[in-house]
Amino acid sequence: MPLEIERKFLVVGDAWRAAVTRSLDMRQGYLTREGQASVRVRLEGDDAKLNIKAAVVGSARAEYEYDIPPDECREILATLCVGRVEKTRHYVPASGAPAGTVWEIDEFVGDNAGLVVAEIELPAVDAPFARPAWLGRELTDDRRYYNHYLALHPYASWPAAERA
């Protein structure tokens, strides 16, 4: 079973921007409400993916991902999704982590504007990694910061006291 091992954090400040090696605009939509799995389509620049992920909170969960035709992805986004998320993903090399590991920093727009979250995929739950100075509070166990939740409950609708 394909397994995603990922840690998620708030981002503090803009110091990370100097280390960005590339950025990619993303639009994604969810075909299911909350349940046992999240099913989404995503446009990643000119590429499109169908993703099925176990709807569990934590650093490890089952994940399946498949390429799909971009035109079909656009059609699904326009007609079948119950919630959507738009963001720019910035890639920053991760020091103090296994070779090739990168920080994926999601800068949300639209109804989730103002939220910036960093994720790091790791080879094991206990894999070491360095915490850059711009890394804030860990969100791995807070489902409110998962994209599926944000698609259904946008950050802009949260009470001010609950926002990061």
Q: Known catalytic residues?
A: 30
Would you tell me how many other CB atoms lie within 10 Å of the CB of residue 99? Answer: 6
Which residues is 26 bridged to in the sheet? 44, 87
Token pair belonging to 78? 């326009």
Q: What are phi and psi of 48, to 5 degrees?
A: -135, 145
Rounded distance between C-alpha atoms, residue 112 and residue 15, angstroms: 21
Q: Shortest CA distance to 98 belongs to which of 119, 71, 66, 120?
A: 120
Rounded distance between C-alpha atoms, residue 55 and residue 30, angstroms: 12
